[in-house]
Structure 1
Amino acid sequence: MPVYKNEKAKNKKWWYQFYTGEIKNGIRERITKRGFKTKKEAEKAMIEAQAALQKGEYIEPSKKLMRDYFHEWIKTKHNLERVTLELYHSYMRHHIIPELGNIPLGKLSAHDIEMFLDALHKKGLAASTVKRIFSVVNAALNAAETKDLVTKNAADKVEKPQVSSRRQLVVWEPAFVSEFLEKTRYASRYWIAVYLAVMTGMRQGEILGLRWSDIDFEKRIITIQQTVNRHREIKPGAKTKKSIRSVALSPETIEVLKDHRQFILQERVALGPAYENNDLVVCTKFGGPVTQRAIQKVWTSFLKKTGAPKITFHDLRHTHASLLIKQGVHIKVISERLGHSSVSITMDTYGHLMPNMQEDAAAGLDSIIKTTATNK
């Protein structure tokens, strides 16, 4: 079996080579492919290549079109979350394939990538979206280089797209938050989701996944340990390890939750066996998970009803953080409540909302020095 191991190279990977049976310019034509981690992988790939050659379906990597390579590459992404995979497919379908699909993999150049990025900007896509799309293309080409389908990733020679600045956070003042919650309280069964976003800083998926069993009414604590995704699927865990956390509740929040629980119990009793008991705090009238689209629809109606400044549902999480900052809550505590992976993320996101911190720190130095001098 013509499978070999490159003992001289640092990585010592396996490769195969076999003759096609054709002769060109007096030379027997052969197919070579390198970059396999094990002998078994190399043998399997060679058998597949030989079978494709016999069927007339074999395409040299250099001649394979980008569209075909991208479709093959995306099929290998078994470790991606369903939502992420759908996003990749959307990028492929709407942006990557239309611009790069007809270019042979082996002939893709840095100039092609630059023109591709220029086309994305001309479409009016946000800088962050362009950056994500580029990352997908770059990952696919890195895989092609690793498998020796191309000698070099063309994207490596291109200046990476930059996101100049984050979207400016829009938050509501405490007085307006109170007024908004009062005006919308009985407008929808999903008002509780809005209330929890303001009072806990939880992410939307975390709110939709919250169960009654996750709430300790005596200790006034919520434990976040599952979410609901955009497909109404209940998923254990959270966004990150730090996202699985406990959040303390105010006495008023406990009372609001008790009222809502009574409402849910009445529905459950009325429906009887027809009720789908998922133990969810935010649920449909039949007890099932709520779609993010349903929450967005209610949120939009709330904004219209109250004439409130337009912010996203996620901005309520930022509003929660700003309310804590105004109370002088320590940044570490805020970070823990929000489930950030590090305090630095919290500081990067909300540092501009703390304009008096430096001023207070400087004033505090005077106080310490004067006190020290007096005690001498």
Structure 2
Amino acid sequence: MPVYKNEKAKGDNKWWFQFYTGEVKNGTRERITKRGFRTKKEAEKAMIEAQAAQQKGEYIEPSKKLFHDYLQEWLKTKRNLGEQTLELYDSYLRTHIIPSLGQIPLTKLTAYDIEMFLDSLYAKGLSPSTVKRIFSVVNASLNSAELKGIISKNVANRVEKPQASSRRQLVVWEPEFVSEFLEKTRYASRYWIAVYLAVMTGMRQGEILGLRWSDIDFEKRNLTIQQTVNRHREIKDGAKTKKSVRSVALSPETVEVLKEHRKHILQERVELGPDYQNNDLVVCTQFGGPTTQRAIQKVWPNFLKKTGAPKITFHDLRHTHASLLIKQGVHIKVISERLGHSSISITMDRYGHLMSNMQEEAANGLDKIIRTAISQNE
């Protein structure tokens, strides 16, 4: 059945569709009608989805659909998001959004409801940045509902958007302290290798836990990030984004450290024999299984205490890696590639302030070049 364009109402040229369900109620053939689509293509797509849902007995009239039901459907469409982002969205839905707003019919949701919801998040003691992220999920879901013609307007647009507090100042270690820290903690835990890789490669924690020996080319001195381990200790193909699937060059010392670590892992494998879970993982339990992120977080405070190091997170080691590269004068594009950022602008936004001294060094370098040229011509 074709879709239609509303050309009669002045100023309203939106598309709509209507189809019969095949059922008769009180002598009248039942039909489903939805309006408000911006394009013919959107209307046709929505009609096909509605027909499929109706045939399965899953169709709910928009006026009766609860926000809870819509959110679950909406999350299933976000296949383009990375696994960690999807997990975060799901957590926000289960923990905060659905318990507070889930039982409200989607078409009855108001700006006041959302304002009260945001107030409740602050009352829970959540940080401004977390509240802002949760609001973004609600806003994105309602934008999608408006685009599909399920609701006439996104009421979240009428709410004053939460403002995140200023970004936490990055804490990075100086090269001298990094060396001291790695030396003092080297034999403190089997998970020291994860710390070392974070400093020397800038890999994310999930990427480090998913690294396999087969991903490392010892002759060419590089590794390829092709899988991760999530917080549920599940091994997942790919990485956070397409850009995150990348190759990272290794220093000669890093290669030697990895070779030494591999000897230890092979020894454990031989001792356990058939009981060993061979996942080919660089960072693993003594039985060869994936390591939980929680296990790393558990030993991390002990490392800090042992060395008297300033309190930072494991993820801050990634920032330290970027800082070390900047101090060497490495090009920002190379840094961005090593970190797996989707664009250089992200790298600049995060680490640009660490490059403030490079302007002065560049200016001083000009003097040196010019003086050298003059002396050579005299």
Residue 173 of structure 1 corresponds to which residue in structure 2? Answer: 174
Residue 157 of structure 2 corresponds to which residue in structure 1? Answer: 156
The structure-2 alpha-carbon separation of the partners of 1:344 and 1:149, relative to structure 1 and needing over 3 Å to count, comes to closer
- Shifted more, 173-182 versus 120-129: the winner is 120-129
Equivalent residue of 1:136, what SS?
A: helix
Contact 1:206 1:227 in 2 (8 A): yes
**2-structure distance, mates of 1:279, 1:119:** 46
Equivalent residue of 1:337, what SS?
A: helix
The structure-2 alpha-carbon separation of the partners of 1:156 and 1:304, relative to structure 1 and needing over 3 Å to count, comes to same
Equivalent residue of 1:311, what SS?
A: coil
Contact 2:304 2:311 in 1 (8 A): yes
Question: Superposition pairs for residues 79-228 of structure 1, below 5 Å?
Answer: 83-228=84-229
Residue 6 (structure 1) aligned to one of 4, 7, 15 = 4
**2-structure distance, mates of 1:223, 1:101:** 42
The structure-2 alpha-carbon separation of the partners of 1:365 and 1:133, relative to structure 1 and needing over 3 Å to count, comes to same
The structure-2 alpha-carbon separation of the partners of 1:290 and 1:326, relative to structure 1 and needing over 3 Å to count, comes to same
**2-structure distance, mates of 1:13, 1:282:** 55
Equivalent residue of 2:356, what SS?
A: coil
The structure-2 alpha-carbon separation of the partners of 1:313 and 1:78, relative to structure 1 and needing over 3 Å to count, comes to same
**2-structure distance, mates of 1:79, 1:342:** 17
Question: Normalising by structure 2, what TM-score?
Answer: 0.83
- Shifted more, 159-168 versus 186-195: the winner is 159-168
Deviation at 1:252, TM superposition (A): 1.7
Post-superposition Cα deviations, 1:71-110, rounded to whole Å, max 9, x if no partner, equal 4544555665554444333322332234323434333222
Residue 37 of structure 1 corresponds to which residue in structure 2? Answer: 44
Question: Superposition pairs for residues 188-337 of structure 1, below 5 Å?
Answer: 188-337=189-338
Contact 1:210 1:224 in 2 (8 A): yes
Deviation at 1:189, TM superposition (A): 0.9
Equivalent residue of 1:354, what SS?
A: helix
The structure-2 alpha-carbon separation of the partners of 1:78 and 1:244, relative to structure 1 and needing over 3 Å to count, comes to closer
Question: Superposition pairs for residues 19-34 of structure 1, below 5 Å?
Answer: 21=25, 32-34=33-35
**1-structure distance, mates of 2:255, 2:52:** 61
**1-structure distance, mates of 2:80, 2:201:** 31
Equivalent residue of 2:153, what SS?
A: coil
Unmatched segments (≥5 aa) in structure 1: 53-57
Contact 1:65 1:105 in 2 (8 A): yes
- Shifted more, 324-333 versus 64-73: the winner is 64-73
**1-structure distance, mates of 2:288, 2:98:** 42
Unmatched segments (≥5 aa) in structure 2: 8-12, 38-42
Post-superposition Cα deviations, 1:157-198, rounded to whole Å, max 9, x if no partner, equal 223333343221111122221221111111111111111111
The structure-2 alpha-carbon separation of the partners of 1:179 and 1:368, relative to structure 1 and needing over 3 Å to count, comes to closer
**1-structure distance, mates of 2:53, 2:255:** 61
The structure-2 alpha-carbon separation of the partners of 1:80 and 1:360, relative to structure 1 and needing over 3 Å to count, comes to closer
Equivalent residue of 1:340, what SS?
A: coil
The one-letter code sitting in structure 1 at the alignment partner of 2:327 is K
The structure-2 alpha-carbon separation of the partners of 1:103 and 1:184, relative to structure 1 and needing over 3 Å to count, comes to same
Deviation at 1:279, TM superposition (A): 1.6
- Shifted more, 125-134 versus 156-165: the winner is 156-165
**1-structure distance, mates of 2:84, 2:202:** 23
Equivalent residue of 1:206, what SS?
A: helix
The structure-2 alpha-carbon separation of the partners of 1:248 and 1:97, relative to structure 1 and needing over 3 Å to count, comes to closer
Equivalent residue of 1:169, what SS?
A: coil
Contact 1:20 1:31 in 2 (8 A): no
Equivalent residue of 1:90, what SS?
A: helix
Residue 55 of structure 1 corresponds to which residue in structure 2? Answer: none
Deviation at 1:277, TM superposition (A): 1.6
**1-structure distance, mates of 2:374, 2:253:** 47
The structure-2 alpha-carbon separation of the partners of 1:146 and 1:65, relative to structure 1 and needing over 3 Å to count, comes to same
For the aligned residue pairs, the C-alpha RMSD in angstroms reads 3.3
The structure-2 alpha-carbon separation of the partners of 1:20 and 1:167, relative to structure 1 and needing over 3 Å to count, comes to farther
Post-superposition Cα deviations, 1:110-161, rounded to whole Å, max 9, x if no partner, equal 2322232233223221222112211221122223324433221101222333
Question: Normalising by structure 1, what TM-score?
Answer: 0.83
The alignment covers a number of residue pairs equal to 364
- Identical columns (%): 74
The one-letter code sitting in structure 2 at the alignment partner of 1:243 is S
Question: Superposition pairs for residues 39-54 of structure 1, below 5 Å?
Answer: 40-44=48-52
The one-letter code sitting in structure 1 at the alignment partner of 2:336 is S
The one-letter code sitting in structure 2 at the alignment partner of 1:172 is W
The structure-2 alpha-carbon separation of the partners of 1:227 and 1:86, relative to structure 1 and needing over 3 Å to count, comes to closer
The structure-2 alpha-carbon separation of the partners of 1:262 and 1:239, relative to structure 1 and needing over 3 Å to count, comes to same
Contact 2:198 2:204 in 1 (8 A): yes
Structure 1 outlier segments of 4+, above 6 Å: 17-20, 28-31, 368-376
